[in-house]
Structure 1
């Protein structure tokens, strides 16, 4: 059933602790933060699992304060006309810093060395002597002059690439879907790999920064390991499922992979040789949480107040400058003559159209139409029924 909502005080529900600086984006008097609401206008979430939730009729948007949306039933949201936002790039610096920190620390066997040093407690005056005798087992290697292969040159990967160059590493990147904006921000000394195999064969270190999809699941497997150099270090701060755990266990035991640094420990990984397992700290900084919260709430506020969409994972991005005119915002099936039917419905009330935008994404599309004529509130219910009666409409609202 298509729905249309007229202006009202809007309710925001949070399912996790969201930084206050993000919640402050919502103006008092126009918004209410109610974590107990059964039918909010929008939800802001971090890692809460939403797959078993039932959504109220007023829910228009869900914003994930982070990049991954595996905890959100995106397909269900699309069918119900609920826009799902994420915050790509908001935590990129935090992840980048941890990637480079662990790359250097693992190369110098810092984690193992620190753990060993803790075993020397209560040895008293013998500790300095034992340190000098024992440190040889932790001799590492320098990263200067080594080749870092980066799979995925998005917000995180591009930052890692640029900073690795400053550390005197050679950098090779592979990303067949690199955006124009990223390309502009990427240092010119980053070498381009034409194929994934080229990157795998020429890298001393490999870090991956791609989303988990059917195409990327298990890309680190027996075949991939066979192409790599011996003693390659692999860093995974994207998703654990990108690595075939059975295959990397063998590669670690045989020395093909020197170390596996992962932000996604589990029972299998913790039992493997030469694994540096980090408790999912990639985006766990105060600055990152605040950046994600602000970005998520601003996107929700913009959508609720103007209909404009930025960084949606299921709706097409769409922007139409908002000048205060009445705006009809419609999410609908991507079928012929839909825009014509919408404009006809509006013009049937002797309303002139000032501006409009229509964007499609797969089987669905999103249309915003600004009405030039002042709209009498009394005709809004009639216009609502007119819009809702059009076959293929999923949701509609007048702003």
Structure 2
């Protein structure tokens, strides 16, 4: 059994949750502080073996000589999965999945908004114009259509569950060949499956994948050429999953029907981006409404991993070198 002796916690917690975490870490000596209290962190990191962080792993955290486990109470650790962590044998885990239901709702909001052309309806409302056009009457709903989900982690599986409530066919792409509940067909990167069939078949392409060296620009020119002209692209992952310039050209030339985008290659999205002026593009500022119990959901992963640390196995959301993203990657 491996015990925790000294721990640093920089995440925001209610007094009740802070006390619960303190007890879970006993008999460790625990330093609680805010993420911006660098002097406190700099002193504490000299001796801690465990760090439970509010944000990504930075250079100050990595100065800790005794670190054995780092947990980030968030998802999307493309900035934290650093080579040094794995070279030093430090365990890295996350709270990925804490907001999966809300992110899935966000994706469904994009799907419904694009399907029912809410921007045009709102424009007609502002103009006091009855928008009962022949073109609108021939639109079709989501029922019976096909959704392709790229990334079947907790958010992707939640999207699949909601899509099944609309009686949709669900195709998924992931590393492994395992077929989760609510997914009809899985295409596996470990099996070296092509995305072509999924993209050619999908009316909605939803990105829920993590960003790493294998998923960078996973939607590029070839992939957009495979898509239906009537399809919609929705990005709930990271902006760099898509070659944005290629997507803009695809939108301009009708290779896809529209996009719902919560993330971008550069954030905030620059004022000069053509995406701002496209009526078939819905933009949200990389923000999703919180779940009412998000803090508790995030901490559940911490408690599970405290037990795993002590047992030496069974970590939830453990990252490896396969999760690394190097920004200087050049796509071949």
Shorter-chain TM-score range: 0.7 to 0.9
Partner of 1:219: 218
Query: For residues 74 and 135 of structure 2, what CA distance do their matches in structure 1 show?
Result: 36
Q: Does residue 231 of structure 2 align to residue 232 of structure 1?
A: yes
Q: 1 CA distance for matches of 2:207 and 2:58?
A: 27
Q: CA deviation at 1:225?
A: 1.1
Taking the aligned partners of 2:58 and 2:304, their CA distance within structure 1 comes to 21
1:281 matched to 2:287? The reply is yes
Pair 170,245 (structure 1): closer, same or farther in 2 beyond 3 Å: same
Asked whether the equivalents of residues 51 and 73 of structure 1 are also in contact (C-alpha less than 8 Å), the reply is no
Aligned equivalents of 1:229 and 1:156: distance in 2? 24
d(CA) in 2 for partners of 1:261 and 1:17?
A: 31
The structure with more strand, counted as a fraction of residues: 1
Deviation sequence 1:115-168 (CA, Å, 0-9, x none): 765x57xxxxxxxxx25x357599464111222122233322223223212212
Bigger shift: residues 258-267 or 196-205? 258-267
- Counting only pairs closer than 5 Å after superposition, residues 326-341 of structure 1 correspond to structure 2 as none
Distance 2:26 2:174 in 1: 46
Corresponding position of 1:170: 169
What SS class does the counterpart of residue 271 from structure 1 fall into?
Answer: helix
Cα separation, partners in 2 of 1:49 and 1:58, compared to 1, 3 Å: closer
Q: What is aligned with 2:276?
A: 271
Distance (Å, rounded) in 1 between the aligned partners of 2:252 and 2:205:
18
Q: 1:69: how far off?
A: 1.4
**How far 1:244 moved relative to its partner?**
0.4
Whether the aligned pair in 1 keeps the contact of 2:200 and 2:228 (CA below 8 Å) is yes
Q: Distance in 1 between matches of 2:17 and 2:289?
A: 16
2:204 maps to which residue? 205
Report the CA distance shift for 1:147/1:306 in structure 2 as closer, same or farther (over 3 A): closer
- 1:365 corresponds in structure 2 to none
Matching residue within 302, 307, 310 for 2:315: 310
1:292 aligns with 2:290: no
| Structure possessing the higher radius of gyration over alpha carbons | 1
User: Which of 6, 12, 19 lines up with 1:17 in the alignment?
Assistant: 12
Partner residue in 2 for 1:257: 256
Distance 1:72 1:195, change over 3 A: closer
- Determine if contact 1:200/1:206 at 8 Å carries over to the other structure: yes
Shift in CA distance, 166/59, structure 1 to aligned 2, threshold 3 Å: same
Q: Deviations over 1:277-310 (max 9, x none)?
A: 11223473333343123312441x3255444450
Structure 1 ranges of 4+ moved more than 3 A: 6-9, 18-23, 46-49, 51-54, 111-117, 134-141, 191-195, 268-272, 303-309
Q: Once the 2 structures are TM-superposed, how far is the Cα of residue 226 of structure 1 from its aligned partner? A: 1.1
1:105 to 113, 135, 139: 113
1:34 corresponds in structure 2 to: 32
TM-score (norm. length: structure 1):
0.64
**Equivalent pair of 1:108/1:138 in contact (CA under 8 Å):** no
CA contact (8 A) 2:261 2:284 kept: yes
Structure 1 gaps, min length 5: 1-5, 121-129, 316-399
Counterpart of 1:257 in 2: which secondary structure? Answer: coil
Query: What is the CA–CA distance in structure 2 between the aligned matches of 1:170 and 1:211, rounded to whole Å?
Result: 23
Q: Which residue, 72, 78, 84 being the options, matches 2:80? A: 72
How many residue pairs get aligned? The number is 293
Q: 1:260 to 1:195 in 2, by over 3 A?
A: same
5+ residue gaps, structure 2: 34-39, 188-192, 322-332
